[in-house]
Amino acid sequence: MALRTLVTRKALGNSVAFRQQLRGLQTHTLPDLPYDYGALEPAISGEIMQLHHQKHHQTYVTNFNKALEQLDDAINKGDSPTVVKLQSAIKFNGGGHINHSIFWKNLAPVREGGGEPPKGSLGWAIDNHFGSLEALVQKMNADGAGLQGSGWVWLGLDKELKRLVVETTANQDPLVTKGSSLVPLLGIDVWEHAYYLQYKNVRPDYLKNIWKVINWKYASDIYEKECP
């Protein structure tokens, strides 16, 4: 995987990323999936995973880098109107990159533990706060299905209050926009591109099935790190 990024860097040459690196600007790259595109079948089809990763997420990364470069230019020139104008593009594309990077880690093939309920402190906290894992799943499914337009439904941890929360965000807004102390444990993408080719307009079916490949191990790790 590292070799592939090396080769693509060389091939980029005069491109945005190369120039950004010259100026010391952090470039963002599309993270690799820790599993094959088809590994999450039948919950999420390989076609969707490939499009979602290679087209949608890549577009967010590319546009994020472009917006950051434009921002850097504007800051250096003292061009305040442009600095402010770029904020929405940065929020959208940067948010898209952040959210999807978390999303890929939130999913795992069944043979690697996808769908296995959380044990340890996270499992206990879920039972404590929501009553049961089923109750949490139902709440997240209801919130996700009810979200109008595009967005995400999150299981988050308020690290100051040490409490679990279920939140939704619109478009590509990251979870922090709903509270600066919120840490995302699990995010489910309810944009139509995340399920349309397979589930068409039946978002509730997508939400019901995605739990079969949710990687609770990752969520538990984050939780244990924040609440030792």
Partner 1 sequence: MSRSAFCSSGSNLVPKTTEALNPLNRPKKHHYLNGRQRTNLYQKNHRASKVLAYYGLRSPPYKLDALEPYMSQRTLEMHWGEHHGGYVDALNKQLAKNDLLYGCTLEELIKVTYNNGNPLPEFNNAAQVWNHDFFWESMQPGGGSSPILGLLQQIEKDFGSFTNFREKFIDAALKLFGSGWVWLVLKREEKHLAIVKTSNAVNPLVWNDIPILNLDMWEHAYYLDYKNDKAKYANVFMNHLVSWNAAMARMARAQAFVNLGEPKIPVA
Does residue 28 have a known ligand-binding role? no
Q: Is 189 annotated as a binding residue?
A: yes
Give the shortest CB-124-to-partner 1 separation in angstroms. Answer: 36
Binding site annotation covers 52? Answer: yes
Q: Which is nearer to partner 1, 176 or 227 (CB)?
A: 176
Q: What angle do CA 50, 211, 163 make, to 5 degrees?
A: 115
Q: Which stretch binds partner 1 (CB under 8 A): 70-78, 193-201, 205-213, 214-222?
A: 193-201
Per CB under 8 A, which region of 118-126, 159-167, 176-184, 192-200 contacts partner 1? 192-200
**DSSP codes of every residue in 160-216:** TTTEEEEEEEETT--GGGG-TTEEEEEEEE-SGGGTHHHHTT-HHHHHHHHGGGB-H
Q: Which is nearer to partner 1, 162 or 193 (CB)?
A: 193
Q: Is 24 in the site for partner 1 (CB under 8 A)?
A: no
Q: Please indicate if the annotation marks 57 as binding a ligand.
A: no
Binding flag, residue 170, partner 1 (CB under 8 A): yes
Contact call for residues 151 and 142 (beta carbons, < 8 A): no
Binding of residue 150 to partner 1 (CB under 8 A): yes
In terms of Cβ atoms closer than 10 Å to its own Cβ (0-12, 13-18, 19+), residue 228 is exposed
Q: Taking CA 32 as the corner, what is the angle to CA 165 and CA 172, rounded to the nearest 5 degrees?
A: 40
User: Checking phi first, is residue 31 left (phi over 0); if not, alpha (psi -120 to 50) or beta?
Assistant: beta
Residue closer to partner 1, measured from CB, 60 or 218: 60
88 lies in the site for partner 1, by CB under 8 A = yes
List, edge to edge, every strand of the sheet that includes 151-158: 163-170, 151-158, 182-189
Residues at the binding site for Mn(2+) are 52, 100, 189, 193
Using CB under 8 A as the criterion, which residues of the chain lie in contact with partner 1 when the complex forms?
51, 55-56, 59, 88, 92, 148-151, 170-172, 191-193, 196-197, 200-201
